[in-house]
Chain A
Amino acid sequence: MTASSAAGARRRWRQPSVLPGFGLTFGLSLGWLTLIVLIPLATIFLKSAGMGWDQFVAVGLSDRALAAYRLSFGTAAAAGLVNALFGLLVAWVLVRYTFPGQKIIGAIVDLPFALPTAVAGIALTALYSPNGWVGRFLDPLGIKVAFTPIGITVALVFIGLPFVVRSVEPVLADLGNDVEEAAATLGATRLQTFSRVIFPAIAPALLTGFALAFARGVGEYGSVIFISGNMPGRTEIAPLLIVTQLEQYNYDGATAIATVMMLVSFAILLALNVVQAAGRHRYGA
Chain B
Amino acid sequence: MRRSTTESRALQIILIAVALLFLAFFLALPLVAVFGEALKAGFGPFLDAVTAPDALSAIKLTLLIAAISVPLNVVFGVAASWAITKFKFPGKSLLISLIDLPFSVSPVVSGLIFVLLFGANGWFGTWLAEHDLKIIFAVPGIVLATVFITFPFVARELIPLMMEQGKDEEEAAISLGATGWQTFRHVTLPNIRWGLLYGVLLCNARAMGEFGAVSVVSGHIRGETNTMPLHVEILYNEYDFVGAFAVASLLAGLALVTLVAKTVLEWRFNLHGSARH
- Residues of A with C-beta under 8 A to B228: 116
Once bound together, how far apart are the Cα atoms of A28 and B203, in whole Å?
Answer: 19
A interface footprint on B183-206 (CB within 8 Å = 1, 0 otherwise):
110000000000000000010011
B interface footprint on A29-68 (CB within 8 Å = 1, 0 otherwise):
1101100111111011001000000000000000000000
Once bound together, how far apart are the Cα atoms of A14 and B19, in whole Å?
Answer: 48
- Residues of A with C-beta under 8 A to B52: none
Which chain A residue shows the least CB distance to B115?
Answer: A246
Once bound together, how far apart are the Cα atoms of A38 and B245, in whole Å?
Answer: 37
Which of B42-50, B126-134, B250-258 has 4 or more CB atoms under 8 Å from chain A? B250-258
Check if B263 sits within 8 Å of A219, measured CB to CB.
Answer: no
A201 within 8 A of B: no
Check if B258 sits within 8 Å of A114, measured CB to CB.
Answer: yes
Which of B84, B98, B109, B115 has a CB less than 8 Å from the CB of A37? B98
The 9 closest A-B pairs by CB, nearest first: A219-B106, A116-B209, A14-B89, A222-B211, A221-B212, A20-B180, A29-B80, A114-B255, A123-B30
CB distance from B266 to the nearest CB of A (A): 8
Which of A91-99, A136-144, A202-210, A276-284 has 4 or more CB atoms under 8 Å from chain B? A91-99
Known contacts: A18-B171, A239-B107. The answer to whether A111 contacts B31 by CB under 8 A is yes
B20 within 8 A of A: yes
- Residues of A with C-beta under 8 A to B112: 44, 242, 246, 254-255, 258
B273 within 8 A of A: no
Which of B7, B37, B107, B147 has a CB less than 8 Å from the CB of A36? B147
B103 within 8 A of A: yes
A-B contact pairs, 24 of them (CB 8 A): A17-B86, A19-B174, A19-B180, A21-B83, A25-B82, A38-B98, A44-B116, A86-B19, A89-B18, A108-B23, A109-B23, A114-B254, A114-B259, A117-B229, A157-B26, A158-B26, A219-B212, A226-B236, A240-B108, A242-B106, A249-B121, A255-B112, A258-B109, A261-B106
- Residues of A with C-beta under 8 A to B119: 251
Interface size, B (range): 35 or more
A218 within 8 A of B: yes
Contacting residues of chain B (223-240) with chain A, CB-CB under 8 angstroms = 228-230, 232-233, 236
Check if A113 sits within 8 Å of B105, measured CB to CB.
Answer: no
A115 within 8 A of B: yes
Which of A92, A169, A265 has a CB less than 8 Å from the CB of B104? A265
Once bound together, how far apart are the Cα atoms of A124 and B245, in whole Å?
Answer: 12
CB distance from B143 to the nearest CB of A (A): 11
Q: Is the interface of A mostly helix, strand, loop or mixed?
A: helix
Which chain B residue shows the least CB distance to A191?
Answer: B7
Once bound together, how far apart are the Cα atoms of A169 and B266, in whole Å?
Answer: 15
Which of B15, B105, B109, B256 has a CB less than 8 Å from the CB of A97? B15
Known contacts: A28-B76, A36-B151. The answer to whether A115 contacts B209 by CB under 8 A is yes
Check if B87 sits within 8 Å of A14, measured CB to CB.
Answer: yes
A120 within 8 A of B: yes
CB distance from B140 to the nearest CB of A (A): 13
- Residues of B with C-beta under 8 A to A28: 75-76, 79-80
Which chain A residue shows the least CB distance to B236?
Answer: A122
- Residues of A with C-beta under 8 A to B114: 40
Which of A30, A193, A255 has a CB less than 8 Å from the CB of B116? A255
A119 within 8 A of B: yes
Check if B31 sits within 8 Å of A123, measured CB to CB.
Answer: yes
B interface footprint on A234-266 (CB within 8 Å = 1, 0 otherwise):
000011101100100101001100100110011
- Residues of B with C-beta under 8 A to A96: 6
A118 within 8 A of B: yes
Check if B205 sits within 8 Å of A90, measured CB to CB.
Answer: no
- Residues of B with C-beta under 8 A to A222: 107, 211-212, 215, 229
Check if B108 sits within 8 Å of A32, measured CB to CB.
Answer: no
CB distance from B99 to the nearest CB of A (A): 7
Known contacts: A184-B4, A184-B5. The answer to whether A115 contacts B109 by CB under 8 A is no
Known contacts: A17-B88, A40-B113. The answer to whether A29 contacts B83 by CB under 8 A is yes
- Residues of A with C-beta under 8 A to B230: 118
Which of A17, A127, A246 has a CB less than 8 Å from the CB of B216? A246
Once bound together, how far apart are the Cα atoms of A109 and B262, in whole Å?
Answer: 12
